Chain A
């Protein structure tokens, strides 16, 4: 089973060290880790560093991966104006680096993922004709058909309605457990993070502020220091912690 740990990881944007010194506990197979922090905190940069798209100091230790390309990154930007159908765009994510021929098992797997994400009705629609939310779901499907062992999702639910947000996060949580994946999700909705994440990593101004169990990390003090808000944390009817924001802190 795959496991990943970040040890003093940093990331360069050009010559500037944009993210520095991120150290996490071991993230184990089946875990969903929420990466939270204000805008421009360095969440996407950290993901790109883990994927190898950016360089930087530190070690990314991956243990127990079955394949060389264990990590798949789902970027935040899902806009695309390519003249492709949704189905073709998902197929091409699966077939990268492989032959031109497409097997029945490839197509069956795509069908399975599309059904799971409830996007079969848009399978043969042009990519350019999709709404922002639909594009986000297609982007998730593109990442999933690569059968990653470690999946980094950059704000995958930002354009989705509430129902879809819960569906997708619930699905990703179950998928992480059933397939033994490590799933890291950059997310702004702290209540969704508290509900679905096994661990939370807080990042602000390119530095890690905390990493651990949600209850230990998402605190009134952290919300004031990192997000500059006065907030309370209360239990909701489903026994989840819930952040209630009372106002901004100056």
Chain B
């Protein structure tokens, strides 16, 4: 051991290789950012009225240089949807990433653990019965109910996962049980619903970005902007938790406190977007796995990577949802499920160490 310690050449090797690795990860993040910008521009340009990328960029940079029609379509119709896709994708992906981190479970996401199903039930409760869980204005009834139910489901998962003797597998099974429970309750409400209410519930549960408005974007973005610095502050601690509870504690991490704080933030991150745009599945599952596979789990890279992968995924899905049948915008939840299910299968069947 002592003889090897005396070799000066190796002294630099690890340091330089680590620096190179970090640079490579930064370049990947830069490439993902560029891809997201491009996807955003294409999302704005894509639609029944076809505009060139140049016209869209001109409308963005100098709105007075384009016609009123282009300005209205880009800024008032397509912009809220395109921005909402990015914000919701980022929020759900980060929520999924941190859920997977603190529950030490690759299958954890707002969708698979029943949080989206809980939100759907809350929304249906508002649409079908007009029963309000919170005293809010009638216009906020649906998102408020969806939010509260999603919050209850998240906290339930958290507190059960903290109980002595509860394994990771138990938490996943519990999440599946929540999905079935809320789906059954939803079906019950749908059976009782009027034709008009039923169609509203079905549309809501499909998830759609066309519900996007600037105030909704503002609230979702605000939650995201509050959450990110809190996660960033605990970046080393969250990464350490992936090494196991005992190991993280041995590094001086207060695992219980970090888990509780993170779960509370996740509950907001998962519940707010779902309450505004409905059930959008698999982004919270697939986004973090893509980030993990290409960047690893050092949260300094994994966190921005999850934001970008989730945002990019939903932005691209937004384009796809407008491209299948010209003039028809498919509910985005259908597309994410179609893309997500094959990935979900590959995840279950994969033995690759880089994916978990």
Contacts and interface: CB of A to CB of B under 8 A. Distances in A.
B54 interface: no
Nearest to A72: B250
Q: Which of A85, A88, A117, A120 has the largest number of chain B CB atoms within 10 A?
A: A88
A91 interface: yes
A63 interface: no
Nearest to A111: B14
B18 A115 contact: no
Contacts of A83: 292-293, 296-297, 353-356
B327 interface: no
Contacts of A73: 249-250
Given A89-B243, A92-B239, A116-B1, A110 B250 contact: no
Given A82-B297, A111-B11, A146-B251, 9 more contacts: A73-B249, A80-B244, A95-B236, A111-B14, A114-B14, A115-B5, A115-B10, A127-B243, A167-B1
B5 A124 contact: no
A115 B4 contact: yes
B286 interface: no
Contacts of B253: 96
Interface of B: 1, 4-5, 7, 10-15, 17-19, 21-22, 164, 232, 235-237, 239-240, 242-244, 246-247, 249-253, 292-293, 296-298, 300, 353-356
A190 interface: no
A100 B242 CA distance: 18
B250 A98 contact: no
A93 B237 CA distance: 9
A213 interface: no
Interface in A100-124: 100, 102, 104, 107-108, 110-112, 114-118, 120, 123-124
A74 interface: yes
B250 A88 contact: no
Contact of A123 (B14, B236, B246, B354): B14
Given A83-B353, A84-B296, A98-B236, A51 B250 contact: yes
Contacts of B11: 108, 111-112, 115
Nearest to A68: B252
Nearest to B240: A92
A100 B250 CA distance: 20
A73 to B, nearest CB: 4
A140 B235 CA distance: 22
B236 A129 contact: no
A128 B292 CA distance: 14
A231 interface: no
28 contacts: A53-B246, A53-B249, A73-B249, A73-B250, A74-B250, A75-B247, A80-B243, A81-B242, A81-B356, A82-B239, A83-B297, A84-B297, A87-B21, A88-B18, A92-B251, A97-B252, A100-B300, A110-B15, A111-B13, A112-B5, A118-B4, A120-B13, A123-B13, A124-B21, A128-B353, A167-B1, A170-B1, A171-B1
Interface residues of A, number: 54
A75 B354 contact: no
Interface of A: 14, 51, 53, 69, 72-75, 77-85, 87-89, 91-93, 95-98, 100, 102, 104, 107-108, 110-112, 114-118, 120, 123-124, 126-129, 139, 142-143, 146, 167, 170-171
Given A84-B239, A87-B14, A104-B15, A117 B1 contact: yes
A92 B299 CA distance: 10
Contacts of A112: 5, 11
Contacts of B22: 102
In this complex, the member of B7, B10, B164, B236 whose beta carbon has the largest number of chain A beta carbons within 10 angstroms is B236
A88 B298 CA distance: 7
B252 A75 contact: no
Contacts of B292: 83
Nearest to A174: B2
Nearest to B356: A81
Q: Which 7 A-B pairs have the closest CB atoms?
A: A82-B242, A128-B353, A107-B15, A75-B246, A111-B14, A73-B250, A83-B297
A96 B330 CA distance: 46
A116 B5 contact: yes
Nearest to B106: A81
A79 B1 CA distance: 25
Contact of A77 (B237, B244, B293, B356): B244
A167 B4 CA distance: 13
